A and B are shown apart, each in its own frame.
Chain A
Amino acid sequence: MSKASAPLVSAQDMAKKYGDFIALHPLNVEVHSGEFFGVFGPNGAGKSTFIKLLTGQLRPSKGRIEVLGVDAVNDPQKVKANIGIVPESESPPSFLTPAEFLEFVARLRGVDDMLAKVEHWLDWFGLQDKRDTMCKDLSKGQRQKVMLASAFIHKPKLLFLDEPFANLDPIYQRKCREWLLNHVEEGGTIFLCSHVLEMAERMCNRMAIINDGRVLAAGTVKGLKQSSDETLEDVFIRLVGRSIEDVERHEEEGVTHDDSEE
C-alpha cells in the first residue's frame, strides 16, 4: 500500500467483551484521509465503545488498532496527543474555567501560541463572557462548546466525535457543521458517531449502521438506499428493525446470535 493511499485508522479483529456480554463483535475497519465517516445506530448499539476503542480510551478484548501509524493498544497516549476527541456525555472539569481548561489542554498537547489559540476558540464559541466562570456553573450547551473547543484547539488531522451536537443550539450546530466540512476539505478526517440520521445526509460521505455490537450495512449514503424514494430513516428502520426482530426471535428460540451465525 502506498503511503498516499494508506489509511489513517485501521483495526483488525477489534472486539470488546465484558464477561459474557459482547459489546462489540470482531470488526475490521479502515478510515482513509479526507473522509467524513459516520457510524449510526440506536441507543446501546456499541457506537461509543467503538469510538473509545479507536481512541485508546478502552483496551480491546482482542484485535489490533493502529491510528496515524501509532499502535493504539500499546501507546494510547501518543494517539490521544495527535487526535481530537469529543465524548458523548463528558463535561470539562467542574472547578476550572473554560479559559483554564483550554490552556491546560493546549499545554498538554504542546500547542504553539497557546494563549492566542485559547482566546480564538473562546471567541469562536461565544464564550468570552463565560471565560472566568467555573465549568460547573455553565449550561449543558456551554459545557459542550468547551469540550468541542478542547478537541479543535490543536486542529488535529483526525477528529473523533461522539454525538457532538447533542446540546448545541441550531446556530452553533450550523457553525460547527460548516467548520467540520471545511476541515475535511482542507485534508482533515472525521469519524463521527450518532443516532441523528440528518447528520449523515448533511455531512458524511460514507457511513455504517451498527446494532447489537455489529455492522449491519456500510457504504455511501446514496448506496445504502434501495430506491430513490427511500429515506435514510427508512433504511435505518429496515436494517435495525429487522435486526431487533432477529434478536427477539433468537431469544425466544433460546439460541444466541453467535450460534446462529456459526
Chain B
Amino acid sequence: MAGTFIESRPWTDDVLEQKGGLGTSAHDVNLNEPLRGWAAFSATFRVMFIEESRKSVEFAKKRQIVLFPLLLTLVTAISTIGLQFLVGDSTAQSSDLDAKTFTWQELRFALHLPLFMFSLGMGTFAFMGRDAILRRSGTKNHLLAAPALQPLPNSMAHFAYFVKDLLFYVLLILTPIISGMALGILMDGFAGIRTPLLWSSLPWTWLAMATTLGQGLALSFLASSLWLRGRPFTIVGPVAIVALGIAIGIGALPSNLLLWGLAAQSSQNGIFIILGLMLSIGIGFVAALLILDDFDVSVVEQGDLLAPTYARLRFLGRGHVRLIVAKEFVDLFRSGAIKKMTVSYAIPLLVLLGMAWLVDFAEAPIPINLLSYAPFLGFFGFNFYSWLTILDSPEFMNGLPLKVPDLIRAKVVVYFLATSWISLIFIVLMAWRLDEWASLPTSIIVMFANSIYIVALTAFLMGLRPNKAIFDASIMIWFWIGTVLPLLGLFLLSFTQGDVSLYGNWWERASQDGLAATSQMYDETMVQQGYMGMITISIMLIFASAVLWKLMDRRWGRSEFSN
C-alpha cells in the first residue's frame, strides 16, 4: 500500500498548468450525488420553518407569540369598524365633505406602504447569511450556515430562507390582519356598529398584501445580494432605488409600479396578483443565485483602532460606557457595517428629499411642513439600533466586570453619534427646499428629542434583542403606546405651523365634527400654542429618555449578555 505523502514548498506566484485529474479514486464506493433543485429546497425549507418558529417562541414565550397575532387581529377589527369615519362614502360623512376624507385608494395606500417598508427592512437575507457564516464557530448556529459543512448550495439555502420568511410573515402578520377585518365585518349590525368593508374584499386584500410583502422582501434580498457581490454590483441597488423614487415622483413612471400589491388590489385583477407573486419569487430566486458558495472568513491584519477611538471619546468621561462605545465603533468600521447602515439610513431620507423637490405638498390631502418631518426621523432609529445589536455576539462580556445596561447605553450613544449628522443635514436641506428657515431651530429640537427618545425606548423595552422583540405582543403594545402618542401629538401640532387651512383650527373643529371638520384660516394664537406644545412635548421626551436611561439598570441589570 502506498503511504501518505506530504510536503511544503515556498510560495511562488506560478500557477500550475491543469492537465487531467490528480488520480484519486473512491475505490469502488458508489458516490452520492448531492441533493439539488426541488429535493434540496424541500429538505431545507421544512427544518428552516421549524427553526424560525422556535426562534420566535424562544424569545416571546408561547403565551406571547399567540398574543401577537391576537393583538393584530384586535387592532384590525377596531380599525375595520372605524373605517366608517375615514372613507368618504360612509354614513358619518356628508356628501359635500368627500374631499376632506380619505378615499379607498388612499386607505389602501396607507395599508400597503408601511407593509412594504417593513418587508424592505426584514429582507436583507444575503447579509443575514453572511453573518450566519461568520458566526458559525460561536455558540449559536443557524441552518443558513449549513452549506459550509453540508452538501447544500448556499444559494438554495438562501432561497429556502426567503420563501420561509415570506410564508412565516404571511401566517404571523397578514392572516391575523385579515382575521381582524373578518371579525370587524362579523360585528356589523351589533349595537349600531357599521363597517363599509365587504366579505368579498378580504381574499383580495390578503393576496394583495402578500404580494406587497413578497415584493419588499425580494427587492431587499436582491439589494443585499448585489451589495455582497462587491463593485460594480454594490452601487446598483442604491442607485436603482433613488432613480425609481425620482422617476415616480416626477410622474415618469406610474406610481402603481411602486407597490404591486396595491396595483393588484385597486384593479381587482387576479392576473396582477399572480404576476406580482411570481415576479417576487423570481426576484428572490435571482437574488439567491447571486449568493456564492463563499465560506471564507478573511484573515486581515489591522492597526490599533481601539485606542485612538477611545481617546477621541473623551467627552464621554472615564466610565465603562466610553470604552464600550469605542469597541462598538471599531466593530462598525471593521465589519463594514457602517457603510451599509449609513446607506440604509440615508436612502429613505434622500427619497423623501427628492420627492419634496418634485412634488407640491400643498396638493397633498394632509399639508406637510418641515416640522411634520422632524418627529418621523426618529423612527429610522429603530432599524439602526437593531443592526447595532447584531454586529457581534456579546457573550464574551459575561466574564467581564460589565453589566448589560452598560452595553445598551453604549449602543444608544453609538446610534446618536453615527446618525445625528445625517438627520441634521437632511433637516437643513429640507428647510432650504421648503423655504421654512424660521421653523428650523424648532425642527432640530423636535428631531433630536424624538431620535433620542425612540432609541432609548427601543433599547429599554427590547434590550439587546430588538429583532426578536417585535414578535412579543406585550413589548410591542408598550412600544406603540410609547411612540404613537407623542408622535401623533407632534405631527398634529406641526399642522399649526404652516400655511394650512383645514388644520388651522383642527382642535376645535375636530372635537365638534370629527373628520367632518370644516376649514378655517389659522391665527397667530394657534401658531403660538402649537409651537409651545411641540417644545413642551420635546422637553418631555428628553426627560422621558433620561428616566429610561436610569431605569435600564432595573430592567436589564441582572440579564446575561446574549443577542
Contact = CB atoms under 8 A, between A and B. Distances in A.
A10 B7 CA distance: 12
A7 B23 contact: yes
Nearest to A78: B34
Q: For this complex, into which size category does the number of interface residues on chain B fall?
A: 35 or more
A12 B16 contact: yes
B9 interface: yes
Interface residues of A, number: 84
Nearest to A73: B18
B9 A30 contact: no
Contacts of A10: 22-24
B481 interface: no
Contacts of A134: 54, 58
Contact of A68 (B25, B138, B140): B25
Interface in A8-22: 8-13, 15, 17-19, 21-22
Interface stretch (B229-237, B295-303, B525-533): B295-303
A13 B299 contact: no
A136 B137 CA distance: 13
A88 interface: yes
A3 B27 contact: yes
Contacts of B145: 93
A42 interface: no
Contact of B141 (A37, A63, A90, A108): A90
Given A57-B295, A68-B29, A93-B142, A208 B149 contact: no
A173 B34 CA distance: 31
A105 B24 contact: no
Nearest to A75: B34
Contacts of A105: 150
A35 B6 CA distance: 13
Contacts of B271: none
B140 A94 contact: yes
B2 A5 contact: yes
* Chain A binding surface, main DSSP class: mixed
B152 to A, nearest CB: 6
A262 interface: yes
Nearest to A151: B149
Given A5-B1, A108-B152, A214-B8, A81 B25 contact: no
Interface string A209-226: 010001100100000000
Interface stretch (B43-51, B177-185, B217-225, B314-322): B43-51
A25 B9 contact: yes
A146 to B, nearest CB: 11
A97 to B, nearest CB: 9
A1 interface: yes
A206 B4 CA distance: 7
Nearest to A5: B2
A78 B44 CA distance: 17
B12 interface: yes
B40 interface: yes
B139 A91 contact: yes
A145 interface: no
B55 interface: yes
A98 interface: no
Q: Which of A32, A57, A95, A109 has the largest count of B CB atoms less than 10 A from its CB?
A: A95
A12 to B, nearest CB: 6
Interface in B129-179: 136-143, 145-146, 148-153
Q: Which of B27, B138, B296 has the largest count of A CB atoms less than 10 A from its CB?
A: B27
Contacts of B9: 13, 25-28
Given A29-B5, A91-B141, A21 B301 contact: yes
Contact of A85 (B8, B27, B143, B149): B149
Interface in B39-82: 40, 43-44, 47, 50-51, 54-55, 58
Interface in A27-59: 27-35, 37, 52, 57-59
Given A21-B300, A33-B27, 12 more contacts: A6-B24, A12-B22, A25-B11, A27-B7, A29-B6, A59-B296, A64-B16, A66-B24, A104-B146, A108-B151, A109-B32, A134-B54
A-B CB proximity, top 9 nearest: A81-B151, A6-B25, A214-B8, A66-B22, A10-B22, A95-B54, A18-B299, A68-B26, A81-B34
Interface of A: 1, 3-13, 15, 17-19, 21-23, 25-35, 37, 52, 57-59, 62-71, 76-78, 80-82, 85, 87-96, 100, 104-105, 107-110, 134-136, 154, 157, 187, 206, 208, 210, 214-215, 218, 258, 261-262
29 contacts: A6-B27, A8-B27, A10-B24, A18-B299, A25-B8, A28-B9, A32-B1, A33-B27, A35-B4, A57-B149, A58-B295, A69-B25, A70-B31, A77-B151, A77-B152, A80-B150, A82-B31, A82-B32, A94-B140, A104-B143, A107-B43, A108-B43, A109-B32, A134-B54, A135-B141, A136-B140, A210-B8, A215-B8, A262-B10
